[in-house]
Structure 1
C-alpha cells in the first residue's frame, strides 16, 4: 500500500494548518513537510494536528548544503542536518530529504568527498534516531546551486560510498524523469528508493523550477510509477506541483487535479 501525499511546496502560500486540512479533505493520506513551515507552526502543534487528521509525514525537506553554496560552513550545515534528523524523528517522518549543495567552485572530487563525509556523520545520528535519509538528485538546468548531484548513477555511487543502511534516495520525476534512460535505471534504484516524488514539466528544466499539472507535460510519469510498483516499491508517492504554469490556478483546483490524476493508476493501491 503506497501512501499518497502532497508536498507543502505545492501550496506554498498557505500555512501548515491550511495545507493539512486541505490535503486530508481531498483524500490524501500523507504530507511532505517543508521545514520553514514546520518552524512557523511548531512541531508539537504539527504532530497533534496531523494525528487528528490521520495524515502521515511522508518526508521532511530538507537538510544539506554541505559544500558551502548557501553561505554556511561545513560544520554549520552538518549541525543543522543533525537538528533536522531530530525534528524528523519527532514528526515521525518517513524520510529526511538531503540536498548535496552546489559545487561552489570545488573540483568534483572534493565536492563528492565533502558530501560523503557529511553523510557519514549524519547517518550515525540518523541510525540512532531511526530516521531514514534520502539523497535527492537535482536537474542541472534548475538546481546547480542546490546540488552537484544531477542523476541517478551519481546518487547511487554516493550511497555506495557512504554505505549506511539508513541512507537511500528520492526520485523526483521532474528532475530525472526526462532522461531517456530513466526506465532502464529503475531496477537499480528501486531497492534504495525511500520516496517517489511526482513532478511534470512541459520542457526540460531551465532556470527556476516550472512544473505543470501532472500528466500535462512530457515526463513519462505513468510508465515510471507502473514500473516501480511492478518491482515492488511500497513507499510513499508524493506530488510536488509548483511553478509559473500553475501559479494562476487556485490551490483547490491543483489538489483536485492531482488527486484525480493519481487515482488513474494508483487507485487500486490505496
Structure 2
C-alpha cells in the first residue's frame, strides 16, 4: 500500500500530537518529522504517540551544513548528523534528509570533497542502523544558503562518488520539477530515490520558498508522478507545503485538499 505522508513543516503551528491525529483523520499514514519540533515534544513521547496511531515516519529533517555555512564546524555538523542517524533508528524512520550546506566562499572542488567525506562517514553509521540517507538538491533561487547541490545531475555525481547504498536522494518536486532537464535525468536517478516530496509553486523559486496547494501551480506533478511510477518508484510520497500562498489556508482545509488531489492523481496511475 502506498504511504501518503505530510511533512510537519506543512502544519508548523501545530504540535506533534495535533498533527498525528489530524493526519490520520484525513487518511494519511505517514509523517515527515522536523527535528526542532520533535525535540520540543520529546523523542520518547513521540515514539509512543506514533505507535499508538500506527503512523509511519517517512523522513526526519534535516542534517548537514558540512560546509560551515550555518556557523558550525565540520566536525560539529558530522557529530550532529550521527546523533540524528541513531535518533532516526529509534523512530524507525525511513529516511534521514541531508542538506549539503551553502558555498561559504569555498571553491567547488573543496565543497564536493568536504561533502563526500562527511557522507562517507555518515553512510557507514547509517548502514549499521538500517537508515537511508537522502541528499536533497535545492533550487538555487531559494536555497543557496542551504545547499550548493542544486540539480539531479550533481546529486547523482555525489551519490556515485560516495558509493554506499545507504546514500540516495530525496526528490522534491518544488525544487526540481520546474526544470525540464530534470525529466531527462529521472531514469538515471530513479534507482537512488529514497523519498519523493511533493510540492508545487506558481512561479520559479526566488527568495523564500513559496509553495501553493498541489495542482494550483506550474509544476507538472501528474506527469512527474507518472514517470516516477513507471520508473519503479514505490516508496512514500510526502507532501511539503510552506509559504505565503498557503499560510492563510486553515490546516484542516489544506489537508483535505491535499488528500483529495492525491486520491485523484493515484487513481489515474492505477
Give the alignment's TM-score, normalised by structure 1: 0.98
Q: Is the 8 A contact 2:178 2:220 kept in 1?
A: yes
Shift of 1:177: 0.4
Q: Is the 8 A contact 2:226 2:269 kept in 1?
A: no
Q: Distance between the aligned counterparts of 2:183 and 2:152, measured in 1?
A: 11
Q: Which residue of 2 aligns with 1:199?
A: 199
Q: Which residue of 2 aligns with 1:104?
A: 104
Give the alignment's TM-score, normalised by structure 2: 0.98
CA deviation vs aligned residue, 1:95-146 (integer Å, no higher than 9, x gap): 0000000010000110110000000011111111111100000000000000
Q: Distance between the aligned counterparts of 1:146 and 1:123, measured in 2?
A: 20
Aligned structure 1 segments of 4 or more residues deviating by more than 4 angstroms: 267-270
**2:202 aligns to what SS in structure 1?**
coil
**2:249 aligns to what SS in structure 1?**
coil
Q: Which residue of 1 aligns with 2:4?
A: 4
Q: Distance between the aligned counterparts of 2:12 and 2:269, measured in 1?
A: 28
The answer to which of 227-236 and 209-218 deviates more is: 227-236
Note closer, same or farther for the CA distance 1:267–1:42 as it changes in structure 2 (3 Å cut).
Answer: farther
Q: Which residue of 2 aligns with 1:151?
A: 151
Q: Which residue of 2 aligns with 1:168?
A: 168
The correspondence of residues 84-123 of structure 1 with structure 2, limited to 5 A, is: 84-123=84-123
The correspondence of residues 3-22 of structure 1 with structure 2, limited to 5 A, is: 3-22=3-22
Shift of 1:2: 2.3
Q: Distance between the aligned counterparts of 2:131 and 2:268, measured in 1?
A: 29
Q: Is the 8 A contact 1:2 1:269 kept in 2?
A: no
Shift of 1:269: 7.6
Q: How many residues align?
A: 270
Note closer, same or farther for the CA distance 1:22–1:269 as it changes in structure 2 (3 Å cut).
Answer: farther
**1:249 aligns to what SS in structure 2?**
coil
Shift of 1:182: 2.1
Q: Distance between the aligned counterparts of 2:267 and 2:4, measured in 1?
A: 10
Q: Distance between the aligned counterparts of 1:162 and 1:181, measured in 2?
A: 24
CA deviation vs aligned residue, 1:149-177 (integer Å, no higher than 9, x gap): 00000000000010011000000000000
Shift of 1:232: 1.3
Q: Is the 8 A contact 2:198 2:237 kept in 1?
A: yes
**1:181 aligns to what SS in structure 2?**
helix
**Structure 1: segments with no counterpart, 5+ residues:** none
**Structure 2: segments with no counterpart, 5+ residues:** none
Q: Is the 8 A contact 1:7 1:240 kept in 2?
A: yes
Q: Which residue of 1 aligns with 2:35?
A: 35
CA deviation vs aligned residue, 1:203-233 (integer Å, no higher than 9, x gap): 0000000000000000001101011111211
Q: Is the 8 A contact 1:7 1:31 kept in 2?
A: yes
Q: Distance between the aligned counterparts of 1:182 and 1:166, measured in 2?
A: 23
Q: Distance between the aligned counterparts of 2:18 and 2:262, measured in 1?
A: 21
Shift of 1:61: 0.2
Q: Which residue of 1 aligns with 2:66?
A: 66
Q: Which residue of 2 aligns with 1:55?
A: 55
**1:245 aligns to what SS in structure 2?**
helix
Q: Is the 8 A contact 2:202 2:211 kept in 1?
A: yes
Matched, 1:23 2:23: yes
CA deviation vs aligned residue, 1:66-108 (integer Å, no higher than 9, x gap): 0000000000000000000011000000000000000100001
**1:97 aligns to what SS in structure 2?**
strand
Shift of 1:11: 0.2
